[in-house]
Chain A
Amino acid sequence: MDSGQPTDDVAAADAELATPAVNAGKPTLRVLGTSVTQIEPLKHAAERDLGLSLDFITLDGTEAQRRGAMAPHSFDVYDQWFHDLDLIWPTGSIRGIDIDRIDRWDQINDLPKTGKLSPSATPTSGGDPSRRLYVQLDGSLGASQSDRISMVPTVHNADSFAVVGDHANEINSWGSLLDPEWSGKVILQRDAAIGCLDMLLALQARNDLHVADMGNLSLEEIEAVTDRLAGYCSRGHFRQIWADEAEAIAAMRGGANLIGSLWWSGAVKLRRLGVPVTMVAPVEGYRGWFGGMALSAHLKSRELDAAYDYLNWWLDGYAGAVMARQGSYMSNPEAVREHLTPAEWDFWYEGKPAASPIPDSEGQIVYEVGESRGGGPYKDRIDRIVVWDAVMEEHNYLVRRWEHAISP
């Protein structure tokens, strides 16, 4: 990715830091993101700890990307995913982050820096965060280490799909998403950068379609997957195709036995509502995603400092604990550990059965003693990621085919 932004301009903007701030009063930071990280308890805690006002602009993934690419002046911090940097960075709407100013940089583990936790783990395809982390000399993003990064790596997960009802124990394959027995009870996510991988994992599990590289499809492979998608849609296989988490939750409350795409944050919210939902640990492996925080290109002086404060705050452990309570991991787990009870740490990060009732971020019990989240410890689950959410080279073609396939 290439912002075409000359490095000198950024240096010039940084030089303005030397100017003393003349505006007194609480700065307001506008944070553009999704429902995964934009939750009230975090907003209040950050405002309290940092002495600033936060304006959360919460959109679905695609809308946030559009705004991120086209309207850098409408936000200060971009709280999204590494894979969609492929769409955002070339527009020059976000600026590089100085590693020197990220206090806990050294605590961040190897996953976003090298693409794997275990040296032996097989390389995954798709939007591997490490390949879009560092700002290169020509202003593009790459894996070669430098002193500036595109995003501070934060929340991430090894995702799969959810089952509502009694059949959870019988299901262990992505193939179930396309099983005719579930027809009419299947829910799929709409964002092509994520939903397409759910489809591919399912098609592959059913031996219906095999592609060379799931994270970067050829035109013919895009046609093959979207043709099949259109077929399933026309047969009424999908009960709903959701764009944001609120829609996903509503869909998953719509029946006694349902199956489909769901994020962990959504699963925890459903459990709080009493919906018996289970996230599957598929034998084929997981679809990974990696979140991060980026800075708008227009930021300078006081607002820039406030934005750095906010980025650093995310790595202090508290936010990571809130994220853990909705099933997600943080890039520096050790800081998070200090903010979780031993039972919570063992449950969320070690994958052990709950030793005591496990609460969500608002203190409601979501798992009872003896239950476990499934899939084992953090490292095991991450090592089993087979593909990262991805914006492919032919993404523009994919999106147009995809949207056409799902349109009624």
Chain B
Amino acid sequence: MSNNKTSSIDQSAPRYAVIETLVASAIESGTLPAKTVLMEGPISKLCGTSRTPVRVALNRLCDRGLLLRFEGRGFVVKGDGPGDPVRTALTHAMLGLSEEDSADPAPVTSQRIARDFETVLVHALPFGRFGVNEQAMADHYHVSRTVVRELLSRLQDRGLIDKNRRSHWIIGPLTAREVAQYFAVRSKLEPLALEESAPRLPATEIKAMWSRLQSGLDQGSDLSSDKLEELETDMHVRLLAGSSNGHLMRMVHQSQLALVVNRVFASFIGTGPFNNSLREHAIVLEFIMRGAYQMAAQALEEHLHLAARRTRQRLMTLSVFPEPEFPRYLVKRVP
């Protein structure tokens, strides 16, 4: 980041992290002099992002001691010696950006917005009821309200989000009742898909799933949550993907929403408590490797019954977890 070649938006890193590094480097190299006043707005314009990541980045730099808070409205670059804070118009050069970087910020594709938004939404579900502010969301993703509305409507069709009587977009809260309902659907649909899909999958793929699972079990509670997610995908997505029934697959996908409880739980607690679940995965795969597909389907159904109970219990535990910070476009509502 110390040279000027880096694009303003790095698609792989979180935006706040990119901006944090950018500003830190600019302070270090002296292009952003001590006492310079920094506000969210100008930086977000120069970087071609919304204000939220800028705010996060500035707060983190403040925590790191590189910036000081200034009159409650912004920050000032830390520096020794006397002298008042300097208000100056920020330029690309001061942030170590080239003109073309910011003039045409890397486009954020609608697909990426959809994916990002869905992740945010789903993770908020267990923490209560939220309203979605269309304008704030449009600002956040730097798109028009039309794009946002279209996306929200698509999610409404899928039952992820709802409109209340006053036509406000509302999500959550995810309840134990809903978890039970989602799992009831899954426990019937997934075995159906498995019976058709598993015989069609190449042996090499089944073998790969088996060895991933074994290595996951060997790691015990050291298993990373990404690896856990991978094993869940093996059992509940890849193993079923050989089915030719498109309608069924769409319904299977939509019924997996309640899995978020487990993701949130694992993100706070780690993967240790998922050991039982993975051992049940092994039972399903054992039957598949023996060509006993009906038994595998039954084992999957039983696994989903047990998982439903575990998931409802984890939802109870979520009540004591601290609420994560969500983007500004999600507004807490009466639960």
Contacts and interface: CB of A to CB of B under 8 A. Distances in A.
A96 B319 CA distance: 23
Contact of A393 (B176, B221, B269): B176
A397 B313 contact: no
Contact of B316 (A4, A5, A138, A391): A391
Contact of A90 (B129, B176, B310, B335): B310
Interface string A68-100: 011000000000000000111011110000000
A90 B313 contact: yes
Contacts of A93: 269
Given A70-B269, A393-B176, A86 B313 contact: yes
B268 interface: yes
Interface string B257-290: 0000000010011001111110100000000000
Given A394-B175, A396-B176, A400-B335, A5 B273 contact: yes
B319 A395 contact: yes
B275 A404 contact: no
Nearest to B217: A6
B312 interface: yes
A93 B314 CA distance: 13
Give the dominant DSSP class at A's interface.
helix
Contacts of B310: 2, 4, 90
A121 to B, nearest CB: 27
Given A1-B313, A70-B268, A396 B318 contact: yes
A106 interface: no
B176 A397 contact: yes
B327 interface: no
A88 B313 CA distance: 10
B312 A9 contact: no
Interface in A92-117: 92-93
Interface residues of B, number: 35
A396 B315 contact: yes
Interface in B126-152: 126-129
A240 interface: no
A274 B47 CA distance: 66
Contact of B321 (A3, A70, A404): A70
B272 A90 contact: no
B275 A397 contact: no
B178 to A, nearest CB: 9
A404 B309 CA distance: 27
Contacts of A138: 276
A86 B316 contact: yes
Given A1-B313, A399-B319, A219 B276 contact: no
Contacts of B313: 1-2, 86, 90
A400 B269 contact: no
Contacts of A393: 176, 312, 316
Contacts of B246: none
B317 interface: yes
Interface string B290-328: 000000000000000000011011111111111000000
A219 B177 contact: yes
Contacts of B173: 396-397, 400
Interface string B55-74: 00000000000000000000
A394 B316 CA distance: 7
A3 B221 CA distance: 12
A90 B307 CA distance: 12
A401 B175 contact: no
B320 A62 contact: yes
A391 to B, nearest CB: 6
B317 A69 contact: yes
A65 interface: yes
Interface string A221-234: 00000000000000
A66 interface: yes
A2 B276 contact: yes
Contacts of B309: 2
Contact of B275 (A4, A62, A91, A391): A4
A219 B178 CA distance: 11
A6 B276 contact: yes
B175 A4 contact: no
B332 to A, nearest CB: 9
A91 B276 contact: no
A4 B274 contact: yes
A392 B318 CA distance: 13
A322 to B, nearest CB: 29
A407 to B, nearest CB: 10
A126 interface: no
A139 interface: yes
B334 interface: yes
B41 interface: no
B334 A404 contact: yes
A395 B316 contact: yes
Nearest to A192: B319
B220 interface: yes
A38 B95 CA distance: 55
Given A4-B275, A70-B268, A404-B334, A90 B177 contact: no
Given A66-B320, A394-B176, A5 B272 contact: yes
**Which 7 pairs of residues, A with B, have the shortest CB-CB distance?**
A4-B273, A400-B335, A4-B276, A396-B319, A66-B320, A399-B319, A90-B313
Interface of A: 1-6, 9, 62, 65-66, 69-70, 86-88, 90-93, 138-139, 218-219, 391-401, 404
Given A91-B317, A398-B319, 14 more contacts: A2-B276, A2-B310, A4-B272, A5-B273, A6-B279, A70-B321, A86-B316, A87-B319, A90-B310, A90-B313, A92-B273, A218-B177, A219-B175, A404-B335
15 contacts: A2-B313, A3-B273, A6-B275, A66-B320, A90-B317, A91-B273, A92-B221, A139-B276, A219-B177, A392-B316, A393-B312, A394-B176, A395-B319, A400-B335, A401-B335
